């Protein structure tokens, strides 16, 4: 066994930089996924049939095909179809955001349905319009219930983000491979970024626990 961790030392700043590169698109993708997911969830529970059908078809498509395929289609087929030279960053954000929104919409839909129907009735009886009722009364209660499931989705997304290395986006994973190719040692840089991923997920988990505690006021 020839382990030599000193070899990666010059490359540590290069790999550390990858944290921000990864986080950059993961954060944007989570936000996009959450917003589109919420809208899709409202479509699914709403009474307008075309919107409901659209949301169902959307979810079925994005859950029914591999994420890496979606990423490839967006990155490789966009120039062919629209003559637009899409950047790796935009491709990654779109693929992960759109994909995640399908899962998030199902989580939020379940959360909304789990809120006592009496809450809706109480709000309606007070003359509160649908929009305000959803934003102020129903969604906050739904979010509290689904927070663990939502955190799970964000954690998955953060980890799966490593597949953007396949389209040449210089994220954490890709940087480990680059370093490996440079120093002809693979275990050390892979282990190094593995620890970084783990650390990121830890921070995310703690954030989730903290949020859960904050939202549980009133229990």
Compute the Cα dihedral for 23, 197, 161, 12 and give only its sign. positive
**Dist. CA 103–CA 60, nearest whole Å:** 10
| Residue 87: CB minimum distance to other proteins, A | 41
| Residue 120: CB minimum distance to other proteins, A | 9
Q: How many binding residues for other proteins (CB under 8 A)?
A: 22
The reply on whether position 217 binds other proteins by CB under 8 A is: yes
Nearer to other proteins, 145 or 152 (CB): 145
Compute the Cα dihedral for 204, 205, 208, 209 and give only its sign. negative
How many CB atoms are closer than 10 A to CB 183?
A: 15
Would you mind telling me the total number of residues written for the chain in this entry? 219
The reply on whether position 211 binds other proteins by CB under 8 A is: no
| Residue 117: CB minimum distance to other proteins, A | 9
Torsion (CA) 196, 199, 204, 210 in degrees, nearest 10: -160
Nearer to other proteins, 83 or 217 (CB): 217
Nearer to other proteins, 17 or 121 (CB): 121
| Spatial CA neighbour of 149 closest among 34, 5, 20 | 34
- In the list 7, 119, 145, 156, the residue contacting other proteins (rule: CB under 8 A) is 119
Residues making contact with other proteins (CB under 8 A)? 116, 118-119, 121-129, 132, 136-137, 140-141, 144, 215, 217-219
């Amino acid at each position: 066994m020839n382990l030599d961790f000193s070899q990666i030392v010059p490359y540590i700043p290069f790999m550390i930089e990858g944290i921000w590169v990864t986080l950059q698109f993961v954060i944007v993708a989570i936000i996009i996924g959450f917003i589109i997911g919420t809208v899709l969830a409202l479509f699914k529970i709403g009474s307008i049939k075309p919107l409901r059908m659209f949301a169902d078809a959307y979810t079925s498509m994005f859950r029914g095909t591999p994420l890496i395929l979606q990423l490839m289609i967006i990155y490789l087929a966009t120039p062919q179809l629209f003559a637009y030279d899409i950047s790796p960053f935009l491709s990654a954000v779109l693929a992960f955001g759109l994909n995640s929104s399908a899962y998030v919409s199902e989580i939020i839909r379940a959360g909304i349905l789990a809120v006592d129907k009496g809450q809706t009735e109480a709000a309606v009886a007070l003359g509160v319009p649908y929009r305000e009722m959803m934003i102020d009364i129903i969604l906050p209660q739904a979010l509290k219930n689904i927070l663990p499931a939502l955190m799970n989705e964000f954690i998955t997304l953060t980890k799966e983000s490593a597949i953007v290395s396949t389209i040449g986006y210089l994220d954490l994973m890709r940087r480990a491979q680059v370093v490996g190719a440079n120093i002809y040692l693979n275990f050390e840089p892979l282990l190094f970024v593995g620890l970084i991923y783990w650390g990121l997920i830890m921070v995310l988990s703690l954030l989730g626990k903290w949020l859960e505690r904050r939202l549980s006021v009133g229990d």
